[in-house]
Amino acid sequence: MLKVLIACGGTGGHINPGLAIAGIIAAHEPDAEFLFAGTPHGMEAQLVPAAGYPIEFVQVAGFQRSFSPENIVRNLKAVGYLMTAGSRAKEIVKKFQPDLAIGTGGYAAGPVIRAAQQLGIPTLVHEQNAYPGVTNKLLAKKAKAVMMTFEAAKEHFPEGTKTVMTGLPVRGSLTKRSREEARRMLGFSQGMTILSFGGSQGAKCLNDLMPDLMEWHLKSDMEINHIHAYGKFGRETVPQALEAKGIAQDKRMRVTEYIHDMDVCLAAADLVISRAGASTLSELEAVGRASVLIPYPAAAENHQYHNAMVLGKAGAAIVIEQKNLTLEKLKDAVRELYENPNKRETMGQRAGALFPQDTDERIWKVIAGVLK
């Protein structure tokens, strides 16, 4: 029986690829046994068991760059975790005895995949971003191969690293609905549909501007529907701002904390305004949608900027750095794409051209090659 250890964690951008890869392997090897490794306080602690997989935990945390009193305490904890993470990771690997270990990023991937390499287990790395993080660059030196989402990542890995362009697996349900069907499901009328979100936590820069942007296009002569997810950190501000403007109940808007039917919302959208995480961009490519991207400036290695520029340089997205983001710039971008539907469609087509249609097959080919 094939046994596969998958190390991931922290955010959905690392966890969902790990779950997707497990699904790809299971489709080819139905009897395969899986074990995930992650941190006890990350999203993986809920998402992995919910998907039906067992998980073991390693206490590990990242170091904070600023030296506030709170961050000094966090860094001291991180040092303590670092002293035990290696031995805990080896314990997990020895007990499970995997045939293959795969790292998809997150704090736990470092010690677990390193332990597997030290114990002679074949390893693979999946890199979601155009600019790889420090951990994956270190793990790449002894990995059998690095599977990449963006071709641009290749130049940042150490010389001699075997890199393979596979793309990032996305949910199959994303491509099952037409725009018209999705809009009917949402109860929207004709016109351009905007989808905006900042992830499960929410993006303050978007939450601060969206009520004003919505007021502007709802009170103009433009026919625009708007879906916005404000996330955890927008609970106390966005609903109140919409109420104050008297537009909270407008039938052309749907504003919620979290989007549970993202496949429907993406299918309905003509334009997406969002951060530039790898999973989001892969989904934009999969459905072929124009976008305005505001990269999260504090992301490790500024990787969201590099991700966004892949689409920006391809003419698939308008990229606005957060430091340059204003309501007027956002209005200009929306107005331009509203008045030029052909440009919207062209941007969407260019996004679609970036998406590898055979991602699952490419990933399985790499895995099968290592197993042989």
Domain 3-167+357-371 and domain 173-353, same fold? Reply is yes
Q: Which two tokens stand for residue 344?
A: 């919207």
Rounded-to-integer distance, Cα 282 and Cα 355, Å? 7
Topology (CATH level 3) of domain 3-167+357-371: Rossmann fold (3.40.50)
CATH class name, domain 173-353: alpha beta
Q: What is the mean pLDDT of the chain?
A: 90
Rounded-to-integer distance, Cα 28 and Cα 21, Å? 11
Asked whether the beta carbons of 111 and 61 are under 8 A apart, the reply is no
Which of 53-67, 223-237, 241-255, 328-342 has the largest mean confidence?
Answer: 328-342
Percent of residues in the chain assigned helix, strand, coil, to nearest 5: 50, 15, 35
Q: Which two tokens stand for residue 96?
A: 């499970």
Please state, in angstroms and as integers, the Cα–Cα distance from residue 338 to each residue in 62, 184, 223, 312, following that order: 42, 20, 9, 19
- Residue where the block lists tokens 């490790």: 300
Q: Where are the domains of the chain?
A: 3-167+357-371, 173-353
β-pairing, 123-127 with 145-148? parallel
Bridge partner list, 127:
148
Whether 215 shows a pLDDT value over 60: the answer reads yes
Model pLDDT, residue 281 = 94
Residue that wins the pLDDT comparison between 141 and 11: 141
Q: Tell which residue, 263, 200, 260, has the closest CA to residue 235.
A: 200
Q: Which two tokens stand for residue 366?
A: 């790499």
Asked whether the beta carbons of 236 and 213 are under 8 A apart, the reply is no
Assign 291 to helix, strand or coil.
strand
Confidence tier at 73 by pLDDT (50, 70, 90): very low
Rounded-to-integer distance, Cα 311 and Cα 235, Å? 31
pLDDT, one tens digit per residue, over 165-182 is 999 988 767 777 899 999
Sign for the CA dihedral angle at 177, 178, 179, 183 comes to negative
Rounded-to-integer distance, Cα 76 and Cα 68, Å? 12
Rounded-to-integer distance, Cα 3 and Cα 181, Å? 41
